[in-house]
Amino acid sequence: MSEQLIPRLRNRVVDPRPGRGVWHSHRAVWTVLALLLILIANRLISANFFSITMVNGRLIGSLITILDGSAPIMLLSIGMTLVIATKGVDLSVGAVMAICASAAVVMVNRYEAGATEFYYTPGVIILLAVGLGALCGLWNGILVAVINIQPIIATLILMISGRGIAQMITSGQSPTFTNDTLAFIGRGVLFGLPFPIYLYLAVLIVVFLLVRRTALGLLIESVGVNARASYYAGINAALVKILVYMVSGMCAALAGLVIAGEVKSADPHKNGEFAELDAILAVVIGGTSLSGGRFSLVLSALGVLIIQSLLTGLYVSKLHPTANLVVKAIVVLLVLLLQSDEFRNRLTRLVRRSS
């Protein structure tokens, strides 16, 4: 075990060596810098990028679009950050989004058709959908923590069959709905701002307090750095892992509901398609290392904003939409290189040598 850890330690983003001059700085600097650069680039592309106007009691503007559009990935990134901090990864979130959204919409359809049982009331349906997400997370958590399957493989199982489960729930259809309560989650407006913003801020604050005002965050980091040492220190590593996958599942359920509410339908194919990749990307851009250990929910949120600002910038630019993915790949690579200590060190050496 220990000899396997050495190469991973070598890959740590953390560089404990002191006195690296200007290049040695808090990792947040590079994330914030990247976000600012992208926002400035967006401002250069579109003159009224930062303008926010009030129309019919709701705020309109590109910045609001960024905050609103980032809701699903933002929710996913909260759970994903915790999972990645335990040296895991959750590939199933996209499929879990589809499962929970499908279940919620099918149940709302029953309610709309006149079902009177209490569990068919919209409020309860939302709770049940989140509970279903927790159940999916429990499944992943048991595979990872109890059966000791590598997280990529363990969550790949639900990623493969999850879409099938979602299709089974909707009988292969993409049902639509009209219920306002469920739609509010995705398209509601509260005090001039889209409701999803409040939703993810609330989840972010609750999870933040949970991990930073209790020992949970420390336990998660400890399990991520060295699960075995944590075990010897008396930490129930299995329980911590199961817990983070459950949080991830619940976040995925909310993200699925946001998308379902936005389009007023459940599409078992499209809901959350490739969302897991964007969520993982956001967490890594935010500076949480895939090799586990210390994490930052706030930086992950900034990572989501980087991706979403980039996307919104591409929409307002006159660039042909087919180029979106290429620009995204290049910008993501640049951000990753900017954050890579190795890259910056090599660059400095190169500059010094030439001067």
Partner 1 sequence: MKSRFFPLLMTFVVFILLYLFAYSQYSSFGSMRVVCNLLRNYAYLGIPAVGVTFVILSGGIDLSPGSVIAFTGVFCALMIERQGMHPLVAFAAILAIATVFGSMIGVLIYYFKIPSFIATLSGMFLARGGAYVLTTDSISIRHPFYVDISNIVYVFPDGGRFTFAAGAFVVVVLIGIFLAHYTHFGRNVYAIGGNETGAAMLGVPVARTIIGIYALSSFLSAFAGIILSLSKRSGDSTIALGAEMDVIAAVVIGGTLLTGGVGYVVGTFIGVLLPGVIHTYLTLDGSLTPWWIKIIVGALFLGFILMQKLLSSRADFARPLRSLRRAEEQQQPV
Q: Which residues bind partner 1 (CB under 8 A)?
A: 1, 3-4, 6-7, 10-11, 13, 89, 91, 143, 147-150, 152-154, 156-168, 172, 227-228, 231, 277, 280-281, 284, 289-291, 322-330, 332-333, 336-337, 340-343, 346
Nearer residue to partner 1 within complex by CB, 207 or 310 = 310
Q: Which of 240, 275, 237 is nearest to 256 (CA)?
A: 275
Nearer residue to partner 1 within complex by CB, 215 or 277 = 277
The answer to whether 328 and 310 are in contact (CB under 8 A) is yes
Residue 204 Cβ vs partner 1, minimum distance, rounded to whole Å: 23
Nearer residue to partner 1 within complex by CB, 67 or 98 = 98
The answer to whether 257 and 278 are in contact (CB under 8 A) is no
Q: Provide DSSP, 193-229.
A: EEHHHHHHHHHHHHHHHHHHSSTHHHHHHHHHH-HHH
Nearer residue to partner 1 within complex by CB, 185 or 219 = 219
Nearer residue to partner 1 within complex by CB, 157 or 210 = 157
The answer to whether 130 and 75 are in contact (CB under 8 A) is no
The encoded tokens of residue 89 equal 């990864």
The answer to whether 126 and 185 are in contact (CB under 8 A) is yes
The answer to whether 310 and 327 are in contact (CB under 8 A) is yes
The encoded tokens of residue 104 equal 């919620």
Nearer residue to partner 1 within complex by CB, 213 or 353 = 353
Residue 310 Cβ vs partner 1, minimum distance, rounded to whole Å: 12
Residue 201 Cβ vs partner 1, minimum distance, rounded to whole Å: 27
Nearer residue to partner 1 within complex by CB, 171 or 178 = 171
Residue 341 Cβ vs partner 1, minimum distance, rounded to whole Å: 8
State the Cα–Cα distance between residues 159 and 258, nearest whole angstrom.
20
The answer to whether 31 and 81 are in contact (CB under 8 A) is no
Residue 165 Cβ vs partner 1, minimum distance, rounded to whole Å: 6
Residue 158 Cβ vs partner 1, minimum distance, rounded to whole Å: 7
The encoded tokens of residue 312 equal 């919104």
The encoded tokens of residue 274 equal 């490739």
Residue 117 Cβ vs partner 1, minimum distance, rounded to whole Å: 26
Q: Which of 102, 82, 22 is nearest to 292 (CA)?
A: 82
